[in-house]
Amino acid sequence: MIAVALMAAAAVLIGADQGPTDGPQYTKDGKLTRPPNYREWIFLSSGLGMTYGPLASPGDPRFDNVFVNRAAYRGFLETGRWPDQTVLVLEVRSSQSKGSINRGGHFQDEVAGVEVHVKDEKRFPRKWAFFGFREGEQASTAIPATAGCYSCHEQNGAVDTTFVQFYPTLIGVAKAKGGMK
């Protein structure tokens, strides 16, 4: 009787630890659903005014905040590489320099867009795909593989096709585990 109770308790604890998947979720027609609680995931970094192509529009620079699902983060810490089912969310926010008591610098304002970078080795020929979500959009098709973001990330990504070089808390892990280009 005690052994059965211990086994039942262990099963509950193991199940509680795993919880529901935080990897990519898709609609029946294959669209990626917008991760609903990504702000509860692991925060990797913020950038201000970063651009990889033609200069951004003048005015207040945009912030970008990067989040990753917890399972992928744990996998990265163990191996220095992103495991299958990694979901990276880039939340782009407008910035302001005037408000309340602020006398200098910029602070984050409204969400301007959400971009998602997904590693799903069975679903995508290049293993990774990009998605863009407009305001209020809950599902998105993959950005075509001919878009410049794919070749840019493949050429310049420090780990796999990701810009770990801009995530200071992960650079040391990637170098120590041999995952950094």
Please, which residues have CB within 8 angstroms of residue 142's CB and are 6 or more apart in sequence? 32, 124, 129, 130, 131
Instruction: Specify the pLDDT at position 3.
Output: 45
Instruction: Specify the pLDDT at position 53.
Output: 64
Instruction: Specify the pLDDT at position 74.
Output: 98
Instruction: Specify the pLDDT at position 100.
Output: 86
16-30, 120-134, 150-164: which range is least confident on average?
Answer: 16-30
Instruction: Specify the pLDDT at position 15.
Output: 40
Average pLDDT of span 108-113: 90
Domain assignment present for 155: yes
* pLDDT at position 56 over 90: no
Domain assignment present for 2: no
CATH number at 118 reads 3.50.70.20
Work out how many domains the chain is built from and give that number. 1
Domain assignment present for 105: yes
Domain assignment present for 16: no
Domain assignment present for 11: no
Domain assignment present for 7: no
Range of the domain at 168: 27-177
2-6, 52-56, 150-154: which range is least confident on average?
Answer: 2-6
* pLDDT at position 55 over 80: no
Angle ∠(94,99,104) on CA atoms, nearest 5: 85
Domain assignment present for 4: no
Domain assignment present for 6: no
Instruction: Specify the pLDDT at position 99.
Output: 85
- Return d(Cα 164, Cα 81) in angstroms, integer: 10
Give the CA distances from residue 57 to residues 53, 101, 145, 157, 176, in Å, rounded to whole numbers and listed in that order: 12, 26, 26, 24, 38
